[in-house]
Chains A and B, each alone.
Chain A
Amino acid sequence: MSTVLRNPASIPPKPPHRLLRGYAFDPSLASRLDTMAVSEILYKVPWEDLRDGPRGEYVEVVDVDPPSDRFYAPVDLDAPEVLAQNGLAPSDGNPQFHQQMVYAVAMTTIDRFERALGRKAFWADRIVTRGRRVEYTYIPRLRIYPHALREANAYYSRDKAALLFGYFPAGTDARSSELPGGVVFTCLSHDVVAHETTHALLDGFHEHFMEPTNPDVLAFHEAFADIVALFQHFTFPEQLRHQIAKTRGDLSNENLLAQLATQFGHASGSRGALRDAIGRYDDTLQKWVKHVPDPDELARTAEVHDRGAILVAAVFDAFLSIYGSRTRDLLRLATGGSGVLRPGELHPDLVKRLADEAAKSAGHILNMCIRALDYCPPVDITFGEYLRALITADKDLMPEDALGYRTAFIEAFRRRGIYPDNVRTLSEDSLRWSGPDEDPTLDPGKMRGLISEFVRIVGLRAQVDTLRYAKSREEIWTKSAEIRKKIHGTIASEIRKAEVLQRMTGLALAEYQAPPGVRVRRDGVPSFQIHGFREARRLREDGRILNQVFITILQKVTVEHDGELHEVRCGSSIVMDLDDMSITYAIRKGLNDHPRLMRSIEYAESGQMAAALGSTYFGAGREPFAALHRT
């Protein structure tokens, strides 16, 4: 480094992005003539300072290969030779490129997630229990091991705060497009990397979505990871145009965009991709067939991935309707009003316009799906509740819904038998989470007063500001821990406010009022946890800024079932409007929902989550996703 001062005007500004070459889907596209031209893509990841590895703000790639007992040298993405040509050229034989690829895809996914939420993403805390004390440690970087296993598997490990990717020899099926016995790397598949990164992001968001308290919870984890991976395909401009041209604009026909992990699927012996949102390869018919939605399918399906696939299909279906309605006018324009395309290829201009619409619709859908996470209950999620979260979140931001997005979602979910419990109709209004009712025991307006007083005591507005101006993720993490502590203290000491919140959340918060089964501290305050504190400032379609705070409260209750005691986690997500100083929604999984508590216990007892004998011999898995992905 030179010590000579430089004129600031001569220093180039930091670039907004770093361009990195990579495989668009996975290496298999490069070996097929029809897709060869679109097998590569330039990933555009936010610029950040990197050390070799690459190691940045969010992830660190560590390339150790224990089954081979080898390390591979870390790539230096800042090396001029690398920078000058947008990263290393795609190559499956070069470990440094593998590192670049996982980095590029993971960062793209994180960036997508952050943009939807409008705030920083965090990894799940490391939780260490020492006696009765539980310690939470901040994890700055997710570790990525691109070559960790020798099997057709890849998983997110919370225990190690890491993604582990495997490599394996392709099956010996000569009919598959893979070289029999050739090595397939899961870390070179955009879909696999995006999927696993999303698992990690979701776990950092909702820590308890890995606890299978009903058949939907883990399925939701899988489905959500697939949804993110799938809709990221639509950010690949060339691939999108290529597939639109190939399907002549009808994305409900077999296409790469709706498929996940093509190479992985072929290499592990199936004729099609690992997963497909709209169809599947039929072994008996020997061809791809479209999947017909069946409202009874969900009830019949127990396996986690199969169940998740139903949710993915529903979301993709909503996308297809939206894309359809957004492009109907284009097709009419292009066909002289008939809307019926003539045989032959589409005009490249039409392809481009259709692709733009597809990309836009996909972007909206993905935003909706990610933002809905703020509106999910903190524990025991079901698909139906996710639908309610989707509708509510979208309604807050887009009160009008001129393009019928929400209707498309409701219809697509209904076609697949996904209904929430306890709603009267499937209308938008009944699906939307309800706000807290006026408390009959209080004078009119009193509740509102108590809530705004609560906001004032906690100093919520000022606190949120400190979060917004925090410089680093670590600072935000520390600050929100302090805020959570403060909220907890306020609830514990202000009995009147606690009583109001208690009625809204269905939890026991006020001192000396805990029902049996809830642990009470020595000072009479029930034991509960302010688990999450998040803020969001989002632009509504009418130009107003929505200034929100999301607080999640958790509590455990011990209940008896068939003569045995069981601990069940309850919780509530509170959505607050900070401008209005009011609580908009209280999404509850309360203590008094007895049927739910019983369902959770019975589900846990039925051992449906157990993979065959695994649970008999090994007990509950240490790595839930490892076993899930192995089956």
Chain B
Amino acid sequence: MPAKQKTTGTTPRATSTGKQKPSTSPGGRASKATPGGRKTVKAGRPAARKSKQKSYTVRVRMYRHGLGDCHLLSFPREGRDPFHLLIDFGVLNRDAAFMRSIAAEIEETVRGASKKPRIDLVAVTHEHKDHVSGFNQARDVFDRIEIGAVWMGWTEKPGDKDAEKLAHARKLAATQLRAALASPRAGKGAAAVARKANLTGLLQFAAADNTLAAGRKTIADAMAYLRERGRNAGAIEYLKPGTGPLELDGVDGVRVYVFGPPTDRAAIKRSTVTQTMQDEGVVYHLGRGGDLAMAANVAALSATDNPRPGGGETDTQQPFSRKHGITRSGPWWGSIAKYVASTYDASGEEWRRIDDEWLGAFDQLALQLDSDTNNTSLVLAFEIVATGDVLLFVGDAQVGNWQSWSGVEFDAPDGKGKVAARDLLRRTVLYKVGHHASHNATLKTGGLEDMQSGRLVGFIPLDRETAAAQGRTDPSTGKPSGWEMPAKALYKALKKRTGNRLVISDVKEKLSTEAAAAGVRETDTYVEIMI
């Protein structure tokens, strides 16, 4: 719980399970309300913790649960339970039972002296399945865990005008994509089927996804759940870049800085074409055609073959007046049947047909939707004051987000001068690699290259098998193209920069000797390091 944060003390409501004690958060300072009795329950354990306490400031666990993020940061506190901070809990293509087992493991880890499980702070980086799905899948487990506070990016704040604009645009894009997937006009040939599968793959990240079993809950539901838990705890923060340094309740010598998501919409939208479009608040551009072109495509999806009797065409985007168009079932087909048979329909020339090419526009939209959401990632840097070491958690921030940090500054804790985000970046000793080490999710210049520490360790949450099973299926081989995770060039650069102290969460991955020497330990469930 951030000690310096102004929290609006809402009256705590019991969660649906009713397990939350009213006494835990009177007036918002949830973490302060740790009942004193807790310490006395078992005398042995705190002592054991105490000895550990000396050896490190924070223990970072990266769970090995698949293609998704879940990190538990535990900060030992003098004479108290450690401060537990959970950053994200989501995955692709894993069932609820599995995720519940991971959640149960976390539950045990965060069980304090009073036997009550408590996560002092949950930080959610962004609204993507691979970062929040677990809050749906293991909802019952989380209901049992006390949550002290919740942090999200400013982009998730209900009522924020800019945030809502973004959310609206994302929703519109997602709706358009779903329309594309649902339309019978978009799915005739094998290529179209492959394209659809690909779009579905991308959409599975998105907010309103409800196609996969998570108790039929959407990603938006997971976000809503966390907002509610935060509100119930009386401590929910929507953070803007430049916020900080914040302190974690009872944790000495650790400061938290917020780098992103950027408040400049242009930084979130890297594909913005012109100033005009920005001025107009257009958020999604397709090619250079803008929203209108997309609307034209969507209109095409819902168009019927024939004009309705007595009514107009459903497709208002027809390029010519109606008299020019000829359909295969229409009255003038005979006049062009021969021409079409010898050109477009010619046998042996099927490969030249373009029935589905126009749907390529939707691929682009899906990509934009995905990368824009990634760019709303909450980016947190944890500074260990004594050593100056920094832990950097970037969510899935992409280029635009990274670039925006160069302008981010914080008031120095001593009240004198400023601390620049770039300066903190330079001192990074643990970097949670963005977006499962895909291309474009780690900026080279002004990013990785700036991380100068000779002890830098990289954590990559990635399951290679899941990543390889994604992408467009090649109709001839039936094999998926796979997602390029990790991106080769980046992986190489990371290896070099970290001196091979690079850890992939994949259970099949062997821990490098360099990483082990740097103090990284592994179990089947997690990889951890003490700093």
Residue of B nearest to A149 (CB): B358
| Chain B hits for A168, CB < 8 A | 287, 289, 292-293, 296
Residue of B nearest to A630 (CB): B287
B331 CB to nearest chain A CB (Å):
12
Give the A-binding residues of B (Cβ under 8 A): 185, 198, 201-202, 270-271, 273-277, 280, 286-290, 292-293, 295-297, 300, 303, 305, 315, 317-321, 324-328, 332, 335-336, 339-340, 343-344, 351-358, 360-361, 363-364, 367, 370-371, 398-399, 438-440, 470-472, 481-485, 487-490, 492
| Chain B hits for A523, CB < 8 A | none
| Chain B hits for A283, CB < 8 A | 274-275
Q: List 26 A-B contacts (CB under 8 A).
A: A53-B343, A64-B340, A66-B358, A67-B296, A69-B327, A71-B327, A73-B324, A95-B320, A149-B361, A151-B286, A160-B351, A160-B352, A164-B354, A171-B290, A171-B292, A172-B280, A185-B319, A269-B288, A605-B488, A607-B484, A610-B439, A612-B440, A613-B398, A617-B470, A617-B471, A630-B360
| Chain B hits for A172, CB < 8 A | 280, 290, 292
| Chain A hits for B320, CB < 8 A | 72, 93-95
Partner of B326, one of A70, A145, A147: A70
Residue of A nearest to B333 (CB): A71
| Chain A hits for B273, CB < 8 A | 268-270
Residue of B nearest to A619 (CB): B481
Report yes or no: B319 in contact with A65, Cβ–Cβ below 8 A.
Answer: yes
| Chain B hits for A181, CB < 8 A | 292
Report yes or no: B274 in contact with A270, Cβ–Cβ below 8 A.
Answer: yes
CB within 8 Å for A612 and B270 given contacts A152-B293, A269-B290: yes
- Residue A618 is within 8 A (CB to CB) of chain B in the complex: yes
- Residue A307 is within 8 A (CB to CB) of chain B in the complex: no
| Chain A hits for B490, CB < 8 A | 607
- Residue A626 is within 8 A (CB to CB) of chain B in the complex: yes
Residue of A nearest to B480 (CB): A619
Report yes or no: A619 in contact with B482, Cβ–Cβ below 8 A.
Answer: yes
One digit per residue, 1 when the CB lies within 8 angstroms of any chain B CB and 0 when it does not, for chain A 613-628 equals 1111111000100110
Instruction: List the 9 closest pairs (A to B, CB-CB), nearest first.
Output: A268-B288, A152-B289, A70-B325, A168-B289, A619-B481, A169-B292, A67-B300, A152-B288, A168-B293
A264–B296 Cα gap in the complex (Å)? 17
- Residue A153 is within 8 A (CB to CB) of chain B in the complex: yes
Partner of A164, one of B318, B357, B367, B482: B357
| Chain B hits for A52, CB < 8 A | 339
- Residue A224 is within 8 A (CB to CB) of chain B in the complex: no
| Chain B hits for A147, CB < 8 A | 319
- Residue A365 is within 8 A (CB to CB) of chain B in the complex: no
CB within 8 Å of B: which A193-222 residues: none
Report yes or no: A617 in contact with B198, Cβ–Cβ below 8 A.
Answer: yes
| Chain B hits for A143, CB < 8 A | 343, 352
A631–B361 Cα gap in the complex (Å)? 11
| Chain A hits for B276, CB < 8 A | 171, 173, 175, 269-271
B67 CB to nearest chain A CB (Å):
12
| Chain A hits for B287, CB < 8 A | 151-153, 166, 168, 268, 629-631
- Residue A371 is within 8 A (CB to CB) of chain B in the complex: no
- Residue A162 is within 8 A (CB to CB) of chain B in the complex: yes
CB within 8 Å for A616 and B340 given contacts A171-B277, A605-B492: no
| Chain B hits for A432, CB < 8 A | none
User: Which of B202, B317, B482 is most buried by chain A, counting CB atoms within 10 A of its CB?
Assistant: B317
| Chain A hits for B327, CB < 8 A | 69-71
| Chain A hits for B280, CB < 8 A | 172-173
A169–B319 Cα gap in the complex (Å)? 9
Residue of A nearest to B199 (CB): A617
Partner of A60, one of B289, B317, B318, B343: B343
A245 CB to nearest chain B CB (Å):
32
Partner of A148, one of B185, B271, B290, B358: B358
| Chain A hits for B325, CB < 8 A | 65, 68, 70-72
| Chain A hits for B292, CB < 8 A | 168-172, 181
CB within 8 Å for A269 and B352 given contacts A606-B489, A612-B398: no
CB within 8 Å for A153 and B472 given contacts A67-B297, A68-B325: no
- Residue A560 is within 8 A (CB to CB) of chain B in the complex: no
- Residue A135 is within 8 A (CB to CB) of chain B in the complex: no
A147–B287 Cα gap in the complex (Å)? 16
A562–B275 Cα gap in the complex (Å)? 43
User: Which of A153, A614, A616 is most buried by chain B, counting CB atoms within 10 A of its CB?
Assistant: A616
| Chain A hits for B317, CB < 8 A | 68, 150, 169
